[in-house]
Amino acid sequence: MFREAIARRVEQTGSVLCIGLDSDMTQIPTKHLGSGDPQVTFNKAIIDATKDHAVCYKPNAAFYEARGAAGWDALAETGDYLRSLGIPSIIDAKRGDIGNTARMYAKAFFDEMDFDAVTVNPYMGEDAIAPFRQYEEKGVFVLCYTSNASRVDFQTQLIRTDEGADVPLYEWAARKIVEWDDADNLGAVVGATAPEELGDVRRILGPELPVLCPGVGAQGGDLEATLQQGTATRRGNILVNVSRSVLFASTGRDFAEAARRSAEDLAGRMRAFLGCAMER
């Protein structure tokens, strides 16, 4: 089960850090890489440098899809490498479509590429979530309140509940995530740039359901506020995703070492909050 795998990694690393592999070909320091596909070589170097401090990794599908067939191969090889190390992977795909199409997306990412979890968009309703949820050993993170500024276009708009109360759409999404979680494998995506709303969502989800929080680092989210409002525990109920500020901490020859230092700093602050230490 994905949740159990995450909990084990939290115990091993003492952190709740998820590193996003948004491996932008325009920023990868290709002149400092060896032979082979540059995305794969870069990703492996980042993973090797940071794996003692990261619970899991989250490749963003867009940065691989943009390269066509070569990118898909790089994505698959990155997933294979993480699996060989026993490290959980989340494919950030944000898929959301009607049932037949959603089934094919689930097959692609879970059966063919064997990622451990995926991000999905609930805008089309339960039909868009159900095919992923049926993979009970996998994790499914449902968009709830995202980290971008224009989230207010939809996610804070009020809707009327069956009880006659007006609640923001992101709270309704959180309620639906709880309702749909019959296989104990759903989670929510809530931006670290909105700690108060994260607290609202946590109260709806309860203490155990996992939350994936992007937005710390380049987007300006506050780490400690995120951990506090998300009621972070050592059971893996929150994953704080950081991408650019780790991946591209340096674009020089020392890029991997700089990534390690950035990850170590973040994980150290997480360990201090959780009151735990990394296993040796």
Q: Residue 203 region, left (φ>0) first, then alpha (ψ -120 to 50), else beta?
A: alpha
Q: Which two tokens stand for residue 124?
A: 């089309």
94 in catalytic set: yes
Catalytic residue among 94, 107, 138, 176: 94
Alpha carbon distance 194, 213 (integer Å): 10
Alpha carbon distance 63, 92 (integer Å): 10
Alpha carbon distance 221, 62 (integer Å): 22
44 phi and psi angles, rounded to 5 deg: -65, -40
Helix (H) or strand (E) holding 176: helix 169-180
Q: What is residue 31's DSSP assignment?
A: G
Contact by Cβ (8 Å): 71, 64: yes
Q: H/E/C letters for each residue in 99-129?
A: HHHHHHHHHHHHHHCCCCEEEECCCCCHHHH
Catalytic residues: 94
